[in-house]
Structure 1
C-alpha cells in the first residue's frame, strides 16, 4: 500500500506544478522554461530554512513562496516589457542560472551533494514521515492551490488574462493593464510551484539539483498539453495519467533485457494516440456559459439609449481631444508631420486620405500606442502624450482596429464585459478580500453588457463565440465593445469597410446615436458615401499632413483634392 500512497503523493506534487504551469501557459499564453527552477527555489528555500535555521512549518513554505514570487517577477519584468520570445530566452537563462547557483554555492546548498536530513512535518507530536500520512498534507495543499487558481481564473482577472492571451493590443485598447496582469500571473505561478517544491523537500527529506533540470519543465508541460490548456481539471487529469502510466506499464510482462525500452515505446505510443484523438487535450478549455462567473439573463427588451449612454446629454461643440502639430518619425522616415486635429463633442469627424497617408498612425498617436516625436495631445485641455493605452481608456479615449481584433475564442458577451471599466476583480487580491462585492459587480456588469448588446441588436448572440459571428455582426460587436469602455472619445478605424448597403443602413443609426448622446466619434473611412452620410467634419490627410479640413461636400468639391483622391 505504501507504494500506492507514494504514487498518490507524487500526483499531488505534479498536480500543483501542472496547475501553476497551466495558469501561465494555458490561460495567459506566456511560454516560459523556468518552472523547474522555481520548483527548485521552493524546495531549497524550505530545506535550508528547516535544516540550518530550524524554521518550522508554515513559515518555511511562506518564505519559499515569497522568494520564488519575487525572483520570478524581477527576472520577468524586462522580458515582459518587450515581446513573448524574450520571455522564453530569459526564463531559460533563469533555469540555467538557478542550477548553476545551486551547484556552486556549496556553503549554502551543499552543491552536487544536495541537502539531506530535511525535518519532516510534525502534527500534534506525530512525525509525518510515511507516505500515507504525508498524502493527507499533500491533498490539502493540492486542494488549496486548485481552489486559489480556480477562483483566480473564473473572475474578471481571469477574463482579462484570456483576452490578453488572444490579442494584447486589443486588451490594452479596452483598458487592461497588460504589464500588471503578466507580472502578477508570473509571480503567482512561481509561488504555486514553490508550494510543490516545499512539499517535495519535506516529503523526500532531501533535495538535489538532479530533480530540477529542464526535463522536469518539459514533463510538466506535457501534462498541461495532455490534460488541456486553459482547463484546471485537465491539469489534474494530465498529471494523473503521466504519473500513473509509467508505473502501470511496469506490470506489463516483457522480456527482462528489453523491458525498459519497450515500456518507453508503449508510453510514447499511448501519449501520441491520446493527442491524435484529442489534439486540444482531454479536457478542452471551457467556453460559453461554462466560462462565466455568474449567470446572465437572456431576456430581450428595448434599449434605453439615454440611460445607457452617459455622455453630455446631446450637447454639441466643444473640443474634447486635440492633437497639435504632431510629428512621428521612424528611423528617418516621417509618417506624420505637422498634423493637427480637434475632435468635438456630439460630432462625427472623418479622417480621409489615400493608403499610406498616416491615418492609422494618427490614431495610434492619439490613443497612446505610439508616442509622438513632436507635438502636443490634450484631452479636455490636459496633456496625455505620456499616457499608456490602458490609462487613456480610463481617461476617456478608446479605439478600434482596422482588423477588428475581437477576442474570437470568447463569447460575445464576454467581449463586452471585459471592456467595462472600474472592475474591482481586475485586481486579483480583491477576489479573496471582497468576494461578495466582486460577485455583485459581476451581476451588474453582465446586465449592463446585455443592455449594450441590445443597443447594437446583438443580444440574441450573447453566448455565441465571437468567431462564429458574421462579418457585419463582428463590426457591431466592435461598436459594442468600444461603447462598453465608457470612453467619451471613440475612434473607429474603418468600421464600415467590406459591408454592403443593407448592413451599412443598420450601423449608421448606431453611430449617429452615439454622437447624439454626447460622444465624440472619429472614423477612418475610404467609402465616400459613408463620409457624406455620417460625418459633420472631415480631415483630409496625405503624406502624413493635413491637406484640408471642412464639411464632406466642401472637400469633395475642392478641385485639388478631387484631382488627388476623389477621381
Structure 2
C-alpha cells in the first residue's frame, strides 16, 4: 500500500509540472526545454532555505517560487526576439547552466553529493513523513496549481496567449502586449514548477542534480503531448499514464530474465499507438462552443450596430493619420523615400503600384511594425512614430496583413473577441483579484462580438474554427477582427485579393459602410476594379516614392503610370 501511495504522490508532483509546462507549450506556443531546471531551482531553494538556513514554512516555498520566476526572465527576455528552434537553444542553455552550477557550487548546493537532511513538513504538530500523509499535501498542492492554471487559461489572458501562439504579429495587430504576455507566462509556469520542486525536496529530504536532467524535461513534455497540448485535463491524463503505467506493468506476469525489456517494449508500443491514432493528444484543445468562457447569446446586442462605430475626433474629410516625408532604408537599400500621405475621416484611400513599390513597407511604418529612418507620423496632429504596434492599436490605428494571419485554431467568435480593446481580463491581477468583473465583461464582449459578426454576415459561423472557413469568409473575418479593435484608422493589406467578382460585390458594401460610419480606411490593392469601385483618393507608389496622387479615374488614365504599373 505504501508503494501505491508513493506512486500517487509522484503523480501529483508530475501533474503540477505537466500543467505548468502546458501553459508555455500548449497555450503560449513557447517551446522551451528548461522546465526541469526550474523544477530544480524550486527544489534547491527549499533545500537551502529549510535545510541549510532553517527557515520555517512557508518561507522556503515562497523563496522557491520567487527564485524560479525571476530566473525564468533569463528565458523570457531572449524569447522576445527569438522563437522556434532558437528558443529551444536558449532554454536548453539555461538547463545546462543550472545543472552545472548545482554540480560545481559545492558550498551552496553540495555539488555531486547534493543536499540531504532536509526537514519534512510538520503541520499542527503532525509530521508528514509517510507516503500517505505526503499524498494529502501533494494532492492539495496539485489542485491549487491546477486551479491557478485553469483560471489563467479560461480568461481573456489565456485567449490572448493562444492568439500569440498562432501568430505574434497578428496578436500585436489587435493590441496585445507580447512583452507582458511572454514574461508573465514564463514567470507563472516557472513558479508552479518550483512548487513541485519544493514538494520534491520535502518528500525525499534530499536534492541532487541527477534528478533534474534534460531527460526530466522531455519526460514532462511527453506528458503534455500525450495528454493534449492546450488542454489542462490532458496534462493530468498524460501525467497519470506516464507515471502509473510503467509501475503497473511491473505487476504483469513476465519471464524474470527479460521482464524489464518486455515492459519497456510494451510501454513504448502503448505510446506509439496512442500518438498514431490521436496525434493531437488524448484530450485535444476545446473547440466550438466549449472554447468560450461564457454562454453566447446569438441574439445578444442585436440592433446595436451603431455602437460598433465609435467616432473619433474630427469632421468627415479631416485628416486623421498622416505620414510626412517618410523614409525607410535597410542597409544600402531604400524601400521608402520622401513619402507623404494623408488619411481622412470617412474616406477610403488606396495605395496602388507594382510589386516591390513599397506599399507594405509604408503600412508597416504607419502601424509601428517598422520605425522610419526619417520623417514623422502623426495621429490627429500628435507624433506617434515611437509607439509600438499594440500601443498604436490602443491609440486608434489597426491593420490587417496580406497573408490574413487569422488565429486559425481558434473559433470565429474568439478571433473577434480577442481583438476587443480594454479587457480587464488581459491583466493577471484582474484575472485573480476581480473575477466577477472579468466574467461580466466577457458576457458583454461576447454580445459585442456577435454584433460585429452579424455586420459582416458571419454570425452563423461563430463557433466554427477559423481554418474551416472558405477563403471569402476568411476575408470577412479579417474585416470583423479589425473592426473589433475599435480603431478609427483601419488599414487593409490586399483585402480583396483572390476573390471572384461575385464575392467582391458582397464585400464592397462592408468596406463602404466602414467609411460611411466615420472610419478612416486605407487599402493596398492590385485589382484596379477594386480601386476604382471603392477609393476616393489613390497614391501611386513606385520605387518607394509617391509618383502621383489623385482620383482613381485620373491615375488610371495617365499613360505614364499605366506603363509603370504594367511594366
> TM-score range, shorter-chain basis?
over 0.9
Partner of 2:243, secondary structure, is helix
Q: Distance in 2 between matches of 1:325 and 1:4?
A: 73
The aligned counterpart of 1:462 is: 462
Q: Could you say which residue in structure 2 is the equivalent of 1:115?
A: 115
Alpha carbons 2:308, 2:486 under 8 Å: kept: no
Distance 1:395 1:314, change over 3 A: closer
TM-score of the aligned structures, taking structure 1 as reference length? 0.98
Q: 1:302-341 residue pairs with structure 2 within 5 A? A: 303-312=303-312, 315-341=315-341
**SS where residue 546 of structure 2 aligns?**
strand
Q: Deviations over 1:30-79 (max 9, x none)?
A: 11111111000000100111011211221111110011000111343123
The answer to whether the Cα contact below 8 Å between 2:291 and 2:411 also exists between their aligned partners in 1 is no
Deviation readout 1:425-454 (Å, 9 max, x if unpaired)? 001121111001000110111111111111
Equivalent position of 2:15 in the other structure: 15
Aligned to 1:486: 486
Q: Secondary structure at the match of 1:310?
A: coil
SS at match of 1:335: strand
Closer, same or farther: CA 373–25 of 1 in aligned 2, 3 Å: same
- Structural mapping, 1:130-529, within 5 Å: 130-299=130-299, 303-312=303-312, 315-529=315-529
C-alpha distance in 1, partners of 2:90/2:168? 20
- Quick check: 1:120–1:203 contact (8 Å CA) kept in 2? yes
Please give the root-mean-square deviation of Cα atoms over the aligned residues, in Å: 1.4
Q: Which residue does the alignment assign to 2:546?
A: 546
Q: What secondary structure does 1:293 align onto?
A: coil
Contact 2:367 2:389 in 1 (8 A): yes
Alpha carbons of 1:40 and 1:172: their partners in 2 closer, same or farther (altered >3 Å)? Answer: same
Structure 1 spans left out of the alignment, 5+ residues: none
3-state secondary structure, aligned to 1:54 = coil
Deviations 1:316-373 (A, max 9, x none): 2111111111111112111111111111111000000011111111101111111111
* Cα distance in 2, alignment partners of residues 374 and 73 from structure 1: 34
Q: Distance in 2 between matches of 1:82 and 1:13?
A: 30
Give structure 2 stretches of 5+ with no counterpart. Answer: none
Residue aligned with 1:430, SS: helix
User: How far apart are residue 314 of structure 1 and its match?
Assistant: 9.4
Give secondary structure in 1 for the equivalent of 2:66.
helix
Please list the CA deviations of residues 192-224 of structure 1 after superposition, one character each: whole Å capped at 9, or x if unmatched: 000000000001111111100110001111111
SS of the aligned residue for 1:290 comes to helix
Q: 1:304 to 1:123 in 2, by over 3 A?
A: closer
1:51 maps to 51
**Normalising by the residue count of structure 2, what TM-score does the alignment of the two structures yield?**
0.98
In structure 2, how many angstroms separate the alpha carbons of the residues matched to 1:218 and 1:465?
30
Closer, same or farther: CA 77–312 of 1 in aligned 2, 3 Å = closer
Secondary structure of the corresponding residue to residue 283 of structure 1: coil
Shift of 1:81: 2.6
CA distance in 1, matches of 2:54, 2:488: 59
Q: Which moved more, 1:556-565 or 1:161-170?
A: 556-565
For the 8 Å contact 2:30–2:83, the answer to whether it is kept is no
Q: Offset at 1:249?
A: 1.2
Report if aligned partners of 2:300, 2:447 keep a CA contact under 8 Å in 1. Answer: no
Aligned-partner Cα distance in 2 for 1:283–1:74: 32
Contact 1:540 / 1:547 at 8 angstroms: preserved in 2? yes
Contact conserved, 1:79 with 1:87, CA < 8 A, in 2? yes
Q: CA deviation at 1:304?
A: 4.0
CA distance in structure 2 between the partners assigned to 1:325 and 1:204 by the alignment: 68
